[in-house]
Every structure is written in structure tokens, then in C-alpha cells.
Amino acid sequence: LTDPLSTMDASDGHENALSAKKSGKTSLLDSGEDFEVLDEEDIDDDLPPLEDAGGGDENVADNTGKKTAEEESEASAQMDEWLDVLGNDQLKKKVLEPGKGRASRPQKGQDVEINLKTLLMDGTLVEEQNNLSFTLGDGDVIQALDLTVQLMEMGEKALIHTDAKYAYGAWGSLEPEVPPNAQLSLEVELVKATDAPDVELMPPSDRIALAIRKRERGNVHYQRTDYVFAVNSYSIALQITESNSKVDISPEEEEELLDVKVKCLNNMAASQLKLDHYDAALKSCVSALAHQPDNIKALFRMGKVLALQGEYTEAIQTLRKALKLEPSNKTIHAELSKLVKKHSEQRGAEQAMYKKMLGNPSKSGTTKSRAKSSWGLSWKWLFGATAVAIGGVALSVVIAARN
């Protein structure tokens, strides 16, 4: 069914990519790849203690960008060989130009900026992007980039060969145009890495825009059936909407943030349903309804979750409430009809099972009645025979007495 309830609460990822290209900006939502969920790591904001340089300002050396002989030797060795990133020969990295040393590698959770050139393995150019920005480890880009950029040094240029599994997978991509199951060659230069901004200090408009981008990224994963990664993106978007604000925020902006939050909860519930995580999906629906009790999508998905958990009575009540709010919705009609029929069949099966366990009451009653009637006849016959016998004995006694 092509009812709105079966769709996501956002526009297609392809539309986002096209609009971004028209505006001259690189979209982070233009790929729906399979990628690995990476755990967040706390970033230590404290600066390391300064070492005693043994002199004044003239003797304090700036070691940024300088490498030891050992690091230079290691970099030279890396340029001559491929690094098997995952040990399965499906994601490999080779240094083309060394960077500024291990200490300059970006950390997960930081915002990074790269120059990227994407090619098919036969050398066909897919796209070229300069100053592509994304949050490392959030799944904003294909998994191949998320895994390899964190191994790059600042200023390093690297060549990455990736299997389709860590790029655009079996689906391929329309924007950029990548065939299904295509292996890719990526030329990457790490330009910059900075700490992500403090969400609590962000202007409300920027915070809303960031939450929407993360949610739309989750929609891309959902459309590509990457439900685990979709849940990850929705979770990040929820954290942004739920963060306390240390700056002034208007009631309209608060309402807009709440709307984004409810959409994230609805889409997360849909993803959790696909993963058969019924308890988690039910929790997401309950949270959405706590903010918007008449949210039809939350009611519909809650009804489906309850039905899958065998709670047919509650599921029917929930779907009837949703149908009352939108009587013309064919999807709810179909789901409710199917559920009522299934519930009726289940009740019939349960009644038959109980009758089998307890026996047939009518048959048992008939047997007892017949037995009672039989015993009644037997006792009457016996009583009559006894009376006749006693009468015969008495008559004999009387006759004998007369004689």
C-alpha cells in the first residue's frame, strides 16, 4: 500500500542531494551505504602539559607537522604497501603522500574536511568533491571513508580501494551514479579536523538544521534497508533535539525541535519494527505519543507492535483510535480488518482447545442423565420384587397358622 503511513517522515535522499548540488554545497546525505556503527569516544578538551624545552621562547619548538626519523621511515614503508584495514582484503588503504604524523590523526566525533575523488575500478570518474565536511564516526558518509579517514594523518593523501559492501552495496546509487555491487577507488586528502561544536551553545536554527540532517541521513539508510544504521542516525538526531539549550530559544523554535524529535521517534520505531525489536519499537511509539497523543503514525505503529506481541485487544483499540482520527486511511482500515479477523480466529481456536481439555459438557450431561435414569429403574424394580417376596412369606405364615 502506498499510504503515507508506510513512508518516512522526510523527503527522499536524492532530492536532498540534488538541491545541495544546485546550491553549490556538498550534501552529506547523497549516499545510502552500508556502514559500521562506531561508538562515541569522549574527547579530552584539556591541553597536554608542556614539556620543559630548557630555554626561553626561542627554544620552544613547534613540533606540529614535524616527524621523527622513525615516523618518516614508517611513512616511506606505508607508501610502498597496502594496509588491509579490516583484514578481509575488502578495504585497503595506501599512502600516496605522507601527512604530519600520528599525532595529527583525527578523532571520532570530530568534524573533518576532505578532498575526495571517487572512481570506478576501471578508472571511470564518478564525482569529485572538494572540502567535503562530515562528523567522523556518525555515519554521514560511506563506511569506507568513515573507517579509513580516522587512520589518515593531517595533510595526507591516500588511495582507498573498497568493496561494494563498504560503499554503495547491492543497491548502487543514483546520486552519485554508481552501479550496483560496484567496487570503488577513492583518492582522499585530509584537509582539516576540528572539534564538533557544543550543541548546547549552538543557535537554535543551526541546531534544528543539524538534527534534520542527521534524521535525513537515517532516512537514506532506511530506504536502503540498512535499519541498524538508520537507528544509529536517528539516535544522534534525538540527542541533538533533547540537549539543553544555553542560548535563548523562541517558542516557535522549541515547537520545531519537538516536531523533529517526534519524526525521529516515529522513524526509529519503523526501523526497530523491521529489526523485530518490538520492545524498543513500543518504547519509541510511547515516547512519540507522550508529546503528540494524536499522532496517527505513532498510533498505527504502536498497534502493529502490540499485535506482533500478541496483545490483540490493546492493538485493536489503538488502531480504532487512529482510524477515528483519520477515517479515510485505507492502510489503517486494512490493518484493523486483518487484526480483527485474526483475533476472532484465535479466540475460536482457544475455545476449541478448552473444550478438548475439559471434555464435551453436553455429552457428559447426557451420560449422567442416562446413568441416573438407569439406576432409578433398577431401584424401583428391586423395591417391587422385595415387596412381593415379603407379601408371599406373610401369606404362607398366615395359612400355616390356620392349619
Spell out the domains of the chain, with CATH numbers in brackets.
78-196 (3.10.50.40)
Is residue 63 within 8 A of residue 50, CB to CB? The reply is no
Is residue 112 within 8 A of residue 133, CB to CB? The reply is yes
Phi-psi region of 281 (alpha: psi -120 to 50; beta: other; left: phi over 0): alpha
**What's the burial of 386, exposed, middle or buried (CB within 10 Å: 0-12/13-18/19+)?**
exposed
Q: Measured between alpha carbons, how far is 324 from 332 in angstroms, rounded to an integer?
A: 10
Q: Measured between alpha carbons, how far is 136 from 275 in angstroms, rounded to an integer?
A: 25
**What confidence score (pLDDT) does residue 376 get?**
52
User: Is pLDDT above 80 for 103?
Assistant: yes
Span 20-45, average pLDDT: 38
**What confidence score (pLDDT) does residue 280 get?**
97
- Provide, rounded to the nearest whole percent, the portion of the chain with pLDDT above 70: 67
**What confidence score (pLDDT) does residue 62 get?**
44
Is residue 257 within 8 A of residue 48, CB to CB? The reply is no
User: Is pLDDT above 80 for 34?
Assistant: no
Pairing of strands 184-194, 125-135: unpaired
**What confidence score (pLDDT) does residue 206 get?**
96
Closest C-alpha among 7, 10, 8, 29 to residue 18? 29
Closest C-alpha among 100, 83, 101 to residue 92? 83
Q: Measured between alpha carbons, how far is 140 from 330 in angstroms, rounded to an integer?
A: 35
Kindly give, in sequence order, each residue whose CB lies less than 8 Å from that of residue 257, ignoring residues fewer than 6 positions away. Answer: 204, 207, 208, 211, 241, 249
**CA 14 and chain centroid, separation:** 21
**What confidence score (pLDDT) does residue 317 get?**
95
- Helix (H) or strand (E) run with residue 286 in it: helix 278-291
Span 89-106, average pLDDT: 96
Helix pair 227-242, 204-223: axis angle to 10 deg: 170
First to last CA, the chain: 110
Pairing of strands 184-194, 111-120: antiparallel
Handedness of CA 310, 311, 317, 321 (dihedral sign): negative
Can you tell me whether residue 342 is helix, strand or coil? helix
Could you read off the pLDDT of 113-144 as tens digits, one per residue? 999 999 999 999 999 999 999 999 999 999 99
User: Is pLDDT above 60 for 154?
Assistant: yes
Cell of 60: 620552544
Could you read off the pLDDT of 335-373 as tens digits, one per residue? 999 998 887 877 666 666 767 777 655 555 555 545 555
**What confidence score (pLDDT) does residue 342 get?**
83
Look up cell 507492535; give the residue.
305
DSSP string, 9-65: SS--HHHHHHHHHHTT---TTS---------------SPPPPP--SSSGGG----TT
Q: Measured between alpha carbons, how far is 177 from 181 in angstroms, rounded to an integer?
A: 12
Kindly give, in sequence order, each residue whose CB lies less than 8 Å from that of residue 206, ignoring residues fewer than 6 positions away. Answer: 197
Other C-beta atoms lying within 10 Å of the C-beta of residue 401: 7
Alpha-carbon dihedral angle through residues 97, 98, 99, 102, given to the nearest 10 degrees: 150
**What confidence score (pLDDT) does residue 319 get?**
95
Is residue 33 within 8 A of residue 142, CB to CB? The reply is yes
Cell of 259: 516536531
Kindly give, in sequence order, each residue whose CB lies less than 8 Å from that of residue 32, ignoring residues fewer than 6 positions away. Answer: 13, 168, 171, 173, 220, 221, 223, 224, 226
**What confidence score (pLDDT) does residue 345 get?**
74
Is residue 261 within 8 A of residue 242, CB to CB? The reply is yes
Could you read off the pLDDT of 197-250 as tens digits, one per residue? 999 999 999 999 999 999 999 999 999 889 999 999 999 999 999 999 899 999
Could you read off the pLDDT of 287-344 as tens digits, one per residue? 999 999 999 999 999 999 999 999 999 999 999 999 999 999 999 999 999 998 887 8
Where does the pLDDT of residue 12 fall: very low under 50, low under 70, confident under 90, or very high at 90 and above? very low
Residue 82: DSSP 8-state: -
Query: What is the residue type of 342?
Result: K
Highest mean pLDDT among 3-12, 56-65, 156-165: 156-165
